[in-house]
């Protein structure tokens, strides 16, 4: 038979455990405030492949650390991609933390589906929420770029065939040249070990490297050409600053 002291101790323990659960075992489901899908074409040595950049802006009363799983579904095609807290990327924009991935792709590197997608977010307590997205970015056929004799400024000429050539970045004789049919051009800067340093928006499609204000550690660049209105962009292979 329990004594009054034992019963009181047991009652106190129940209260403490209940308070702990109220603090750390919230039953409220997380929310997906906003979502973003962008189609990115990677040059891939002349054989462009598609990747989705997929991010959501989540909200959870217990903090972002309470989030555990994020899925992206294309129900019509029966496709799904799964991210966990260990492998999603965190991006901060305007004080908000977005989570997602820049490498959503098909296993066989074929074109990604368009249409309706469904994002599902789950926290550590098993609470879930979902949100639908419609994504209809155009498929672009990139024509093979045909090499010709070098231009007078040292850059490589080209003869496009088909829809359009893939955006191209040439660096030679301390000059750069951008060939792109996209409205926005960004130059991503990398160091000797391939670490990303910064992004530079060039004021013109060609000029001297010294005009870009590159950091001293910079050893290579890549062109990221974008059409934000159509949620599509193209990412070139990395080009060294010096031969």
Instruction: Reply yes or no on whether the pLDDT at 18 is more than 60.
Output: no
Instruction: Reply yes or no on whether the pLDDT at 124 is more than 70.
Output: yes
* 121: DSSP letter: E
For strands 49-59 and 89-93, give the pairing: unpaired
DSSP, residue by residue, 181-208: SSSEEEEEEE-TTS-EEEEE--SSSEEE
Domain limits, the chain: 31-135, 142-240
In terms of CATH, what superfamily is 31-135?
Immunoglobulins (2.60.40.10)
- Which one, of 39, 63, 42, 193, lies nearest residue 114 by Cα? 39
Instruction: Reply yes or no on whether the pLDDT at 222 is more than 80.
Output: yes
Q: What pLDDT shows up at residue 68?
A: 94
The size of the chain, in residues, is: 243
Query: What average pLDDT score do residues 213-233 get?
Result: 94
How far apart (Å, rounded) are the C-alpha atoms in residues 53 and 51? Answer: 7
Give yes or no for a contact between 108 and 49, defined as CB atoms under 8 angstroms apart: no
Query: What average pLDDT score do residues 32-53 get?
Result: 91
Confidence of residue 163 (pLDDT cuts 50, 70, 90): low
Query: What average pLDDT score do residues 169-189 get?
Result: 95
State both tokens at 69: 């799983």
Q: What pLDDT shows up at residue 51?
A: 92
Q: Which residue has the higher pLDDT, 238 or 19?
A: 238
Instruction: Reply yes or no on whether the pLDDT at 243 is more than 80.
Output: no
Q: What pLDDT shows up at residue 24?
A: 47
60: helix, strand or coil = coil
What sign does the dihedral 7-8-13-19 (CA atoms) show?
Answer: positive
Query: What average pLDDT score do residues 164-170 get?
Result: 90
Single pTM value for the model: 0.74
- Which of 1-10, 25-34, 80-89, 184-193 is the least confident region? 1-10
Cα-only R_g, the chain: 25
């Amino acid at each position: 038979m329990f004594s009054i002291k034992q019963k009181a101790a047991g009652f106190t323990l129940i209260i403490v455990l209940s308070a702990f659960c109220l603090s750390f075992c919230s039953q409220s489901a997380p929310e997906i405030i906003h979502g973003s899908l962008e189609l990115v074409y990677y040059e891939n040595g002349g054989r462009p492949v598609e990747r989705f950049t997929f991010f959501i802006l989540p909200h959870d009363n217990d903090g972002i650390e309470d989030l555990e799983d994020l899925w992206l579904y294309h129900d019509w095609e029966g496709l799904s991609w799964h991210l966990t807290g260990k492998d999603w990327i965190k991006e901060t924009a305007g004080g908000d933390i977005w989570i997602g991935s820049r490498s959503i792709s098909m296993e066989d590197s074929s074109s990604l589906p368009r249409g309706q997608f469904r994002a599902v977010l789950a926290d550590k307590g098993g609470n879930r929420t979902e949100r639908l997205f419609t994504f209809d970015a155009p498929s672009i056929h990139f024509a093979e770029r045909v090499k010709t004799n070098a231009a007078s400024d040292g850059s490589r000429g080209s003869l496009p065939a088909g829809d359009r050539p893939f955006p191209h970045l040439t660096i030679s004789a301390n000059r750069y040249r951008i060939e792109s049919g996209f409205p926005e051009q960004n130059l991503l800067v990398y160091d000797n070990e391939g670490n990303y340093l910064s992004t530079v928006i060039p004021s013109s499609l060609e000029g001297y490297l010294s005009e870009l204000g590159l950091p001293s550690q910079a050893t290579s660049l890549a062109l990221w050409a974008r059409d934000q209105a159509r949620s599509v962009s193209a990412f070139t292979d990395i080009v060294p600053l010096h031969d």
